Amino acid sequence: MLTLYGATASRAHRVLWMLKELNLPFEHIQTSFMDGSTHTAEFLAVNPNGRVPALDDDGLLLCESLSINLYLAKKYGGPLATNGLREETLATQWSFWVTTEVEKPLLFASANRALFKQEARDEEQALMAISKLARPFNVLDAHLARQPYLLGERFTVADLNVATVMDLAPQCGIALDAWPHLKRWHEGCLSRDAAADWKDVKFSIPRPPTPLGLLKMFV
């Protein structure tokens, strides 16, 4: 029995997308990260980090959205799974890459463009964060100029993991026009049926009151 914890409007949507790709039956508990639900004793027993998503697969408790997706691909197979050591290593590499190179500046830009209330946004901070994205986006665009998907000719868990970290971009007014191969690939990934839940998700987050609070939000 699979149980996914985490509101759709959170990083849990990454795992939701994967579970739907795999067509697996699962229970979805919409644990919010905005109302203290991730810090109850009950939830901390599932994920001591107090964060969503978390997955319970027959008693195996897992956290970290992209790592959960790599696990699901490996365990349940199907066309998204990797084939052999080469693909497995590249899927891991791209998953680490998107978290270290893209996630923080993209979240920062998205918060200042759309997720904070209008009066709390800072366009200068958004532009600074977007400028940090140019380097990884150039790398991804060049890679996707050579082949349609990250590992070659087919959509795999590597594409899902990278696309789902980047899926705030279109919702938050971050244009990908300067990276046409990346844009074409990303639109293709997001148009998959299993990704449909994300399209209508709207949410906002409060701007932390101090610069230190703002830093903490992104660590």
Ligand X SMILES: N[C@@H](CCC(=O)N[C@@H](CS)C(=O)NCC(=O)O)C(=O)O
Q: Give the integer Cα–Cα distance in Å for 156 and 167.
A: 16
How far apart (Å, rounded) are the C-alpha atoms in residues 58 and 56? Answer: 6
Does 189 interact with ligand X (rule: CB under 6 A)? no
As a whole number of angstroms, the distance between CA 198 and CA 116 comes to: 19
Q: Which residues share a beta bridge with 150? A: none
86 vs 199, which CB is nearer to ligand X? 199
- The nearer residue to ligand X, 26 or 184, going by C-beta atoms, is 26
> What is the nearest approach in angstroms of ligand X to the Cβ of residue 51?
3
Shortest Cβ distance from residue 126 to ligand X (Å)?
Answer: 19
CB-nearer residue toward ligand X: 11 or 186: 11
Q: Which of 4, 5, 10, 107 is close enough to bind ligand X by CB under 6 A? A: 10
List the interface residues with ligand X, window 44-103 (CB under 6 A): 50-53, 64-65
Q: How far is the CB of 43 from ligand X (least distance, A)?
A: 10
Residues 47 and 61 sit within 8 Å (Cβ to Cβ): yes
Nearest-approach distance from CB 206 to ligand X, in angstroms: 13
Any idea what the Cα angle at residue 142 is, between residues 89 and 83, rounded to 5°?
Answer: 25
Q: What is 65-116 written as a DSSP string?
A: HHHHHHHHHHHH-STTS--HHHHHHHHHHHHHHIIIIIIHHHHHHHIIIIIS
Of these, 37, 38, 95, 110, which contacts ligand X (CB under 6 A)? 38
Considering CB under 6 A, how many residues would be counted as binding ligand X?
A: 10
Residue number, 46 or 80, with CB nearest to ligand X: 46
Return the residue nearest ligand X (CB atom).
51
Q: How far is CA 44 from CA 9, 39, 162, in A?
A: 20, 6, 27
Binding site for ligand X (CB under 6 A): 10-11, 33, 38, 50-53, 64-65
